[in-house]
Chains A and B, each alone.
Chain A
Amino acid sequence: MKHLLWAFAALAVSGCVSPYVATPYERTAANVQQIALVNDAVPPRLTAWEVASAGSNFGLIGALADAGIQQSRENQLMETLSGAHFDAEAVIEARLMSSLTANGYEVALLENGDRERRVFLEKYEGGAEGVDAYLDVVVTNYGYIAAGMGQPWRPTADATVRLVSADGETLMENQIAYNSMYPRAGVITISPNPEYAFQNRDHMLQRPDLLAAGIEDALNQIADTSTRLLQ
């Protein structure tokens, strides 16, 4: 099923899809000083997708076999990262807080519970008194990706980011893709850090610290880019 969704995404990108149009930020006009950072940025599960796998070349049977292999791979990666005490949510929250603070904002984390879906919140409320805007960073996918059989595994992450004023006006909105397979025109694209590349599943499982560091680097770059958009 996940493969079908990716395939549809690929078709949409390769077809006549108009470029993504961002909403640029006007810092002076917006006059935002205090930001409430929306919680639950990262999905509970990572992905570990081998795009052009052997199975993907053998129709439905191959796709079914592939789905099982991918699920097993993802479970093993999550166990390995858990063993390394890696917390993706904590990583991106900490980086967003520090980079926004360094950029002159007062930031507080908004405890708004878990999202039902990986999309922006419909309403922004509950910020501390005096909050000017809500920053909503939604990581829609993160983990590892290999272009195909025999190709290196590298970190991947995709996010949508939005700053909404306390009275509901969208002040900034963008999409960010770190080592994404099908980045749409107009989306901010970040090339993967070549320091984090693994030959295969065994290599990833043998190096939990490096495995975690690769994802941490990707999420940090998503956070830093989000802050750059608010300069």
Chain B
Amino acid sequence: MNLRVLCVALAGAITAACTTTPPPAATLTYAGQNCAAQPNLAAAQSLTPERERASHAVNTPINALTPCLTTAEGAASPYVVYALPADTDDKTFAVGAPLEIARIFAPRVEVLDAQGVVVRSFARDQYMYRGNAYSVVFRPRVGERYVMVTVDPQLVGQRYDSINISTSTTGTAAGGVYVSWTSGVDAAQSRAFSYEGAVSVTISDSDTDG
């Protein structure tokens, strides 16, 4: 009896280990509710690290719980606001969305002044794929206090098809000898821009010991 239970448990564990959860798919529609007319600056997330460091990253998931904003075009969009550090000298900001397996949050990045007025936006061709993120890079100007990220509805549903090359190493032990073999991987990937996903911000400080 105990052996049978053990076998069933082991089978269950193996099945669970082998079962893969499909990656989140792109969300192509959005029905925001209780959308604010203005961004809530009081709820802005801080981009100031606890201690000064050369690189500081903030990632924010964007999902059904993310607050909604009615944009200037009258569209409903999830949004997130970040408060820039008080000292932005020597700091460079990369703001956008990480490349997930099947989706990319469709970011529209805008910079706001202290009153929440948009003072800078970025043309679509200023966004670029940088490593594992789709982002814009900028240095704050005088008077800029917040960064707001909403959805660009024109981008939602568009696809980013890419080819990535890498290597993969496998190893086997035979006759007391470990043998490894490295082979090449050439993989096509297709991701869709989405209303949900994540926003990533990386702050690089060129004037620090950290």
Contact = CB atoms under 8 A, between A and B. Distances in A.
A185 B133 CA distance: 8
B204 A191 contact: no
Given A18-B55, A24-B139, A148 B130 contact: no
Given A18-B54, A51-B184, A152-B186, A147 B128 contact: no
A46 interface: no
Contact of B163 (A148, A186, A194, A231): A194
B129 A190 contact: yes
Given A21-B206, A149-B184, A228-B126, A181 B166 contact: yes
B137 A22 contact: yes
Given A147-B186, A191-B161, A19 B92 contact: no
A185 B164 CA distance: 14
A23 interface: yes
Report which residue of B54, B181, B183, B188 has the largest number of chain A beta carbons within 10 angstroms of its beta carbon: B183
Given A148-B183, A151-B165, A23 B123 contact: no
A11 interface: no
Contacts of A22: 92, 137
Given A18-B54, A186-B94, A187-B131, A51 B165 contact: yes
Given A19-B204, A24-B137, A51 B129 contact: no
Given A19-B55, A24-B139, A154 B184 contact: no
A184 B186 contact: no
A180 to B, nearest CB: 8
Interface string B10-35: 00000000000000000000000000
Interface string A147-187: 11111101000000000000000000000000101011111
B182 interface: yes
Contact of A145 (B130, B165, B183): B165
Given A21-B206, A147-B186, A149-B184, A183 B131 contact: yes
Contact of A19 (B162, B165, B202): B202
A231 B127 CA distance: 12
A192 interface: yes
B126 A185 contact: no
Given A24-B139, A145-B165, A151-B165, A188 B92 contact: no
Report which residue of A50, A51, A56 has the largest number of chain B beta carbons within 10 angstroms of its beta carbon: A51
Interface residues of A, number: 37
A183 B131 CA distance: 6
B50 interface: no
B132 interface: yes
Contacts of A56: 182
Given A184-B131, A186-B131, A231-B126, A147 B184 contact: yes
Interface of A (DSSP majority class): loop
Contacts of B172: none
A52 to B, nearest CB: 4
Report which residue of B125, B137, B167, B186 has the largest number of chain A beta carbons within 10 angstroms of its beta carbon: B186
Interface string A42-75: 0000000011100011000000000000000000
A148 B184 CA distance: 4
B185 A21 contact: no
B128 A225 contact: yes
A81 interface: no
A147 B167 contact: yes
Given A56-B182, A148-B182, A188 B128 contact: yes
Given A21-B92, A147-B186, A231-B126, 10 more contacts: A18-B55, A21-B206, A52-B183, A57-B180, A145-B165, A146-B186, A188-B128, A189-B130, A190-B129, A194-B188
Which 3 pairs across A and B sit closest by C-beta, in order of nearness?
A148-B184, A147-B184, A191-B162
Interface of B: 54-55, 92, 94, 123, 125-126, 128-133, 137-139, 161-167, 180-186, 188, 202, 204, 206
